A and B are shown apart, each in its own frame.
Chain A
């Protein structure tokens, strides 16, 4: 094998490739380093834990910066969106892979690609002008009025029904991350060897029983990896969320009321930040976001690798 690369031109070519490819590695390292360095002023002032758990974010008067409201907002929004979208996405994957005739499956696959490709701002636009007003008038306001009369204890949980808040952001986000779970789950289902299905059918299993007993257990890893990828998208989704979440970092968050996430505060305040400490605090939020995405992405890669080995072992 070594002999293949000993030709002079080959050595030059491989070296050039290597140097350029190292650019990818450099990009990842540079991002970690620069975000840390950019945020070091704020991180040094408040300490990493103090910054991450601080509840006060006041660039104007107190000059205090704590990212907890944004971390909490990101966690609530992304995890709720994932749990809302998981079962529909899995259903779409099952339908496209097993139930649908070929022509319909092809259309569904195209739609999944499209769903992932529609720009975030277009979802946000729809959220601002269609979803938020609709939710406010048809769901939040009636619920709020009902609660005011019959269950006043619920009111602090519901919050002000403006339409722009947690609930709207969660719904938009849930529909945006469907394709990431669905695509991976579909591929994992398609990878399950045909013999497994045939064996189960031969035993007299119905189509759902084949799914439950022979296919889903083997595809579990791919489905899980898809869920983690969707979570990574949800954590980092910026503008669609920023446009509908109401952008308020006042704790405690309520179901209808405004909230904020890590990406949304960066998008909102970055161009207006004039003081070094404020700018540094925003970059430090970016650094925390980087750490969270890194962790979620690594988990997805790990789960997917194990899944690949599992299926190969079965084959």
Chain B
């Protein structure tokens, strides 16, 4: 009898060990490609990265040297413009969701934000093509900003809602007890309290949009020269990376790796910053 129980127990311990091994193995597998991509981006990209990369525009194929200044500046301009377009809508939707919990629109708003959040990015590009590129008669940085703006609105809405719902209700009650109207409570008390979190959300939306190339293929389109006029086609880093990666030139492949490393560094930095900011609770 006790021998049997002993065996059963030993069997359970073996299952325990086996599952631990499987879980550990699965975890390693899940992160394997991320590590490989990072390692390659670091080793391949670091070789092609120098000061010229940031300070000079790209050269025609076959000519060595040059950089990707036009793409870096373009990324910041198109993405920044898109953020400006998206901010009022995203913030307002987030405030409505968090501060007016009994509003009849909210269930639909939340569902639509989540759905838009999961929409393929290229569809926002198609929408911007139909709404901006077609009426204006050509590709432009502005249409790219619209595509990225569309993409950022639902992200901003959900992150704003999440951050505002973390603000203790005593903050609101204190304001209301002083006789402040509700809009003053929200604008002067709730939003400033949540500032760090709001900025984090904005930063993450900006970073997410900065890495997108698919919605820009037929909106911002790309340009080999520095372009500051948003009514003309503009270049961005992911767009240029894509074009270089499928080109046949060795030098451009190196530049693509460097662009990947820069993008990756930017995104790691924003994620770290976001983590650091969100650790400081209210």
- A residues contacting B by CB (< 8 A) are 1, 4-5, 7, 9-10, 12-14, 16-25, 27-28, 30-31, 34-35, 38, 85, 87-92, 94-96, 99, 108, 110-111, 113-115, 117-126, 128-130, 172, 175-176, 178, 182, 206-209, 211, 229, 232-233, 235-239, 243, 263, 266-267, 270-271, 283, 286, 289-290, 293-294, 296-298, 300-301
Contact = CB atoms under 8 A, between A and B. Distances in A.
A232 B245 contact: no
Given A25-B112, A125-B257, A235-B120, 19 more contacts: A20-B92, A23-B89, A25-B105, A27-B150, A34-B131, A38-B126, A88-B26, A90-B26, A95-B23, A119-B210, A119-B263, A121-B211, A121-B260, A123-B37, A125-B41, A206-B16, A267-B122, A283-B130, A290-B123
A63 B92 CA distance: 46
Nearest to A207: B16
A293 B245 contact: no
Nearest to B245: A125
B256 interface: yes
B256 to A, nearest CB: 6
A301 B114 contact: yes
B221 A271 contact: yes
Interface string B115-151: 1101111111011011100000000000000000010
The size class of the interface chain B forms with chain A is 35 or more
B36 A126 contact: yes
Nearest to A180: B118
A28 B127 contact: no
A18 B115 contact: no
B203 to A, nearest CB: 11
A26 to B, nearest CB: 9
B218 A270 contact: yes
A267 B217 contact: yes
Nearest to B157: A24
B217 A35 contact: no
Contacts of A95: 23-24, 26-27
16 contacts: A21-B93, A24-B153, A24-B154, A31-B119, A38-B126, A95-B23, A119-B210, A120-B214, A122-B211, A122-B263, A175-B33, A211-B19, A232-B118, A236-B119, A266-B126, A296-B118
B95 interface: yes
Nearest to B110: A301
Nearest to B134: A38
A293 B119 contact: yes
Contacts of B242: 121, 124, 239, 243
Contacts of A13: 182-183, 186
A125 B261 CA distance: 11
Contacts of B33: 123, 126, 172, 175-176
B62 interface: no
B153 A9 contact: no
B251 to A, nearest CB: 14
A99 B23 contact: yes
B123 A91 contact: no
A126 B37 contact: yes
Contacts of B157: 21, 24
Contacts of B90: 24
A contact patch SS: helix
A19 B93 CA distance: 9
B114 A263 contact: no
Given A27-B116, A267-B217, A301 B34 contact: no
B118 to A, nearest CB: 4
Contacts of B122: 236, 238, 263, 266-267, 286, 289
Given A121-B211, A207-B16, A301-B115, A289 B267 contact: no
Contact of A117 (B30, B124, B208): B208
Nearest to B41: A122
A113 B257 CA distance: 22
Contacts of B131: 30, 34
Contact of A92 (B27, B109, B246): B27
A30 B12 CA distance: 57
B16 A92 contact: no
> What 10 pairs between A and B have smallest CB-CB spacing?
A236-B120, A91-B26, A119-B211, A20-B92, A175-B33, A13-B183, A238-B214, A88-B30, A92-B30, A23-B89
B92 A17 contact: yes
A67 to B, nearest CB: 15
Interface string B232-268: 0000001001100110000001001100100110011
B111 to A, nearest CB: 6
